[in-house]
A = this chain, B = another copy of it.
Amino acid sequence: MNKITILIHCKDQPNIIASVTNFIAEKGGNIVYIDQHVDREQNIFFMRLESEFFSEAFSTEAFKITFKDSLAEKFGMKWRIYSSEVKPKMALFISKYDHCLYDLLGRYNSGELNLEIPFIVSNHNDLKFIADNFKIPFYHIPVTKDTKTEAEEKQLELLEKYDINFIVLARYMQIVSGKLINKYPNKIINIHHSFLPAFVGAKPYHSAYKRGVKIIGATSHYVTEELDAGPIIEQDVAHVSHTHSINDLIAKGRDLEKIVLANAVKLHSNRKVMVYNNKTVIFS
């Protein structure tokens, strides 16, 4: 049995759903999941389908070609088709904070994540022992003002060598360059430790403390060239009070960061996120 996931978006127009579902039925597929969304302001149609094919002759690549030639061109679709057999490959970028790293690796180990982690890269050597414990290759690529470009070249080599599909910045404390972003558009996931758009930039817990907010948050988003302004994938918050010091906010925030980043990673690796107009459509 072959199972594929189809993501489509195009200008909204009549009969898209019937045409796609009919096409799949003709090819011998059974639809096991369908969801769609129409952005009424932009007049854009989004759809996500999962379909099973029981014929031994089925080939995902052949299906893609026919899909492109018949449907996609007719409706002017942007589309992606994934075989469920192929798990996406995720590179982990870290610095010195270990909470998101432990959290993601714990989930990875327990089989909760539908992905592979070919390697971990860090600008520091401090957390190498955790990568070792979980038996994941670890690369130490230091980054200084002078070596930034060179370091990024090394990162890019690794990303290509391991055929990486998406990158997760698990509290990686460096700003990634436009070159990397353009090479992985909407494929670099960051965790920012505030409920964006509040407290963009550095030290958001300090800003939250100063402003006296009663709620702190964390936001996972795709990285774009404008700092902390990319499409938001997931957000969550926690209540705080005047009794919490900055350190308390940081500690409470760690729990938010872990869960928000893990959820964003799950959504992305399960191909449930579509991006349009700097916003996300998140399928269930």
A residues near B, CB below 8 A? 14-15, 17-19, 21-22, 24-25, 30-40, 98-99, 102-103, 106, 109-110, 112, 133, 195-199, 211-215, 217, 231-237, 241-243, 245, 251, 255, 259, 262, 278-282, 284
- Residues of B contacting A213 with CB < 8 Å? 195-197, 232, 235
| Additional A-B contact list (9), CB under 8 Å, known A18-B25, A102-B102 | A14-B30, A18-B24, A22-B25, A40-B245, A195-B213, A196-B213, A197-B199, A198-B198, A215-B235
Whether the Cβ atoms of B198 and A197 lie closer than 8 Å is yes
Summarize A's interface: helix, strand, loop or mixed: mixed
- Residues of B contacting A280 with CB < 8 Å? 212, 242
Separation in Å of the A80 CB from the closest CB of chain B?
A: 18
Separation in Å of the A217 CB from the closest CB of chain B?
A: 7
Whether the Cβ atoms of A237 and B215 lie closer than 8 Å is yes
Given contact pairs A25-B15, A99-B106, A214 touches B232 in the complex (Cβ within 8 A): yes
Q: List 24 A-B contacts (CB under 8 A).
A: A14-B30, A17-B21, A17-B34, A18-B22, A18-B24, A18-B25, A34-B36, A99-B110, A102-B106, A103-B106, A195-B195, A195-B215, A197-B211, A198-B198, A212-B280, A213-B232, A213-B235, A214-B232, A215-B237, A241-B284, A242-B279, A243-B284, A255-B262, A284-B284
A198–B232 Cα distance when bound, in Å, is: 14
- Residues of B contacting A14 with CB < 8 Å? 30
A236–B252 Cα distance when bound, in Å, is: 15
- Residues of B contacting A24 with CB < 8 Å? 18
- Residues of B contacting A33 with CB < 8 Å? 36
A133–B102 Cα distance when bound, in Å, is: 13
- Residues of B contacting A245 with CB < 8 Å? 40
Whether the Cβ atoms of B31 and A38 lie closer than 8 Å is no
- Residues of B contacting A241 with CB < 8 Å? 282, 284
Given contact pairs A212-B278, A212-B279, A213-B197, A243 touches B37 in the complex (Cβ within 8 A): yes
Separation in Å of the A83 CB from the closest CB of chain B?
A: 20
A47–B178 Cα distance when bound, in Å, is: 44
